[in-house]
Structure 1
């Protein structure tokens, strides 16, 4: 079975980080004899008519797509065309929206920080709405975390120490989706990233910041290779599975008694830092998984009458 695939990344984001991610996947595919083509999402225009679902000016179709973006409409369009997308559009959507992630995880009794979802505001009225959040403050106490539903690299996460900071932050965020969470003080400036492929943790690292409550490398954190416990591995794998992800980066906070608490899941987790830290190229495992899944699905189709 000679597979062909597309690798899709966002063409509007600045820098070379996302192109680099795509090229890592392409090299891993080539090493396993799989021919792939890299596309920017803005070069694949979805087209809907009364009798077709397809792409503008694109006649060829791949066997599969590795989707390294959060353009959920495009991912869903490719699936409607009958193409296997890794990860599925719904898995990308569930991990991209952190509120939706926590709802799924809490509904399955996974360990998450105590969370209060901000009521929907369609635009920023400029009004002081702090009174709407007093019961949340009573429940969570200070300090607390305010986290936007959509964001990356820790940039949309705020540590709030008092009422005035909360008032100022809520006024800035009015019109956006966000939540308030208990602050896990025992995990200040540190977390653990476990990279999942299928039903396996292929690599893990511990991240630490001496100057910030966030441990993200982009905010100045450092990293070291880490061997997760069985409990952490089981939790991370189950987290990826419950949102339907084929592969994902699962970030775990450290609870007061050392037990893991889910911080977030990323369906498009970058793998260069993971490689620099651990020496493990997760792209190899990702492509081996895709090849196995495609062969399995091909075999099932061949068995149909």
Structure 2
């Protein structure tokens, strides 16, 4: 069986260790896995493409050419649009952070608030705005981009990322910010394994089932009273925090899942 893992050129360098791990685990179960970068084209006989980029149009083009994508292009489209993520959660009845699109600073009607680009990731295009002046700065910085507004919700800079493989919970990681309202591990936050309640497991399985996703991360703000609110869906999702807090190979689980799925299709 032949497959590809697709990355942008920049991300292929940053994620070289994970790519090598994927290739090693693939070889153990007789999958020939190759790296595909930028505009390189896969061979027509490839069984699948593990798509590791935030580029719904590129994903869709591979599907239109007959390739089996992990995740589907539709998953990539929804996960990389925070407004579509919010709409999906609302439709499914999953508790979520109230979210609305805003086109000007005059539509921001309460402070403090959180402003985000609709397609940003990694916490780099997010701002806690305490005043209209802060909001104006954000709008100026991201002029021409689609923006969303969320009320600031006190969570102690704590959230939970749940890693899903199909409809199975691979693991969950509690992330706490370090001197910032952002909890991202890559921005210096602390992490620990987090046990999900029955209700929380139901929420994430509901989302994964609706998306028909293969491998995603689902982020929830963790509230002081123990409840949670969906904040984002990540595709592609980075596994650094999962490797740090759990004692299994994500690459191994992913490759075994792929082989089983393709064998049964």
TM-score, with length taken from structure 2: 0.93
Query: What is aligned with 1:99?
Result: 83
Matches within 5 A, 1:69-148: 69-119=53-103, 129-131=104-106, 133=107, 136-137=108-109, 141-148=110-117
Runs of 4+ in 1 over 4 A off after TM superposition: none
Higher gyration radius (CA): 1
Q: Distance in 2 between matches of 1:161 and 1:192?
A: 25
Q: Distance in 1 between matches of 2:248 and 2:68?
A: 26
CA shift at 1:102, angstroms? Answer: 1.2
Distance change (3 Å), C-alpha of 1:210 and 1:75: closer
Q: What is the aligned counterpart of 2:22 among 20, 25, 32?
A: 25
CA RMSD of aligned residues (A): 1.8
Q: What's the secondary structure of 1:43's corresponding residue?
A: coil
Gaps of 5+ in 2: none
Q: What is the aligned counterpart of 1:234 among 194, 199, 202?
A: 202
Please state if 1:281 is matched with 2:256. no
Q: Distance in 2 between matches of 1:191 and 1:227?
A: 13
Q: Distance in 2 between matches of 1:287 and 1:239?
A: 22
Q: What's the secondary structure of 1:179's corresponding residue?
A: strand
For residues 146-188 of structure 1, the C-alpha deviation after alignment (integer angstroms, 9 at most, x for no partner) is 0111112111111111222122222322210110001110x13
**Contact 1:253–1:261, Cα closer than 8 Å, also in 2:** yes
Distance change (3 Å), C-alpha of 1:219 and 1:237: same
Q: Distance in 1 between matches of 2:73 and 2:98?
A: 27
Please state if 1:295 is matched with 2:251. no
Q: Distance in 2 between matches of 1:116 and 1:65?
A: 34
Q: What's the secondary structure of 2:6's corresponding residue?
A: strand
Gaps of 5+ in 1: 45-57, 120-128, 298-305
Please state if 1:209 is matched with 2:177. yes
Matches within 5 A, 1:178-193: 178-185=147-154, 187-193=155-161
For residues 226-285 of structure 1, the C-alpha deviation after alignment (integer angstroms, 9 at most, x for no partner) is 222222222122223323321101111113532121111112111133112222222222
Q: Distance in 1 between matches of 2:43 and 2:24?
A: 25
Q: What's the secondary structure of 1:151's corresponding residue?
A: coil
Q: What is the aligned counterpart of 1:40 among 33, 37, 40?
A: 37
Q: What's the secondary structure of 2:174's corresponding residue?
A: strand
TM-score, with length taken from structure 1: 0.81
Q: Distance in 2 between matches of 1:108 and 1:145?
A: 24
Q: What is the aligned counterpart of 1:248 among 216, 219, 244?
A: 216
Query: What is aligned with 1:222?
Result: 190
Query: What is aligned with 1:54?
Result: none
